[in-house]
Amino acid sequence: METKNRPLARLGAWLALGAGLVSFAGSAGGCSPGASDICDIKCACEGCTEAERDDCVGEIESTVTLAESKGCTEQYDAWLVCVEKEAECRDGEKFAFDGCDIEEDALADCGGGNQCSAAAKKLCDECNFVCAEPDPDKCTGKYACESACIVNASCTEIASPTPGGTFDMCMKGC
């Protein structure tokens, strides 16, 4: 089995989360680690300022919101448990986790995973455009926003955006 370095950024910042909850409210019986748990592990390894830790928690929470909205709570719980179990500090400075491919694939198949990966998969598999795996470290801000636009658009809209159309306006909003 191929071992992949999957930094926390893989969780991504897909949608802004308005609620300030730190733990995953939708977890079954509180068995899954919360955003704080994962970010504590990351920050203990890499060192984080308070703002960086807050960003980390926010990214995880926004992914929780996406997973909940897609009905992927069970898959997300399983993935978080795996991330916590597999987390390690490489060379004393790099947070990484391996061995969660099954859980990650189940989450992505459900629709609650990484927006950039979902957009890349759509462009390749559905639209027959470009096939490339995005860098998870760059799946924030504008790239995450544009990926969400791609995921929610048809292949026709992506290939030939209508000026002022939904896809065009979404991309301009990023």
What pLDDT, on a 0 to 100 scale, did the predictor assign at position 112? Answer: 59
Sign, Cα dihedral of 103, 60, 114, 52: negative
What pLDDT, on a 0 to 100 scale, did the predictor assign at position 104? Answer: 77
Q: Return the higher-pLDDT residue of 47 and 9.
A: 47
Note whether 134 and 8 are within 8 A (CB): no
Lowest mean pLDDT among 7-16, 81-90, 93-102: 7-16
The single residue listed with the structure tokens 């071992």 is: 3
Q: Return the higher-pLDDT residue of 87 and 5.
A: 87
What pLDDT, on a 0 to 100 scale, did the predictor assign at position 73? Answer: 86
What pLDDT, on a 0 to 100 scale, did the predictor assign at position 49? Answer: 92
Highest mean predicted confidence (pLDDT) among 33-47, 62-76, 117-131:
33-47
What pLDDT, on a 0 to 100 scale, did the predictor assign at position 71? Answer: 84
Alpha-carbon Rg for the chain, nearest whole angstrom, is: 16
Residue 120 has pLDDT above 50, yes or no: yes
Residue 30 has pLDDT above 70, yes or no: no
The 10s digit of each residue's pLDDT in 42-95 is 899 989 999 999 888 888 887 777 778 778 888 888 888 988 899 889 888 888
Q: Return the higher-pLDDT residue of 160 and 109.
A: 160
Can you give the pTM of this predicted structure? Answer: 0.51
Residue 9 has pLDDT above 50, yes or no: no
Q: Residue 88: in which H helix or E strand, if any?
A: strand 87-90
What pLDDT, on a 0 to 100 scale, did the predictor assign at position 4? Answer: 37
Q: How many CA atoms lie less than 13 Å away from 78 in the CB half-sphere?
A: 17
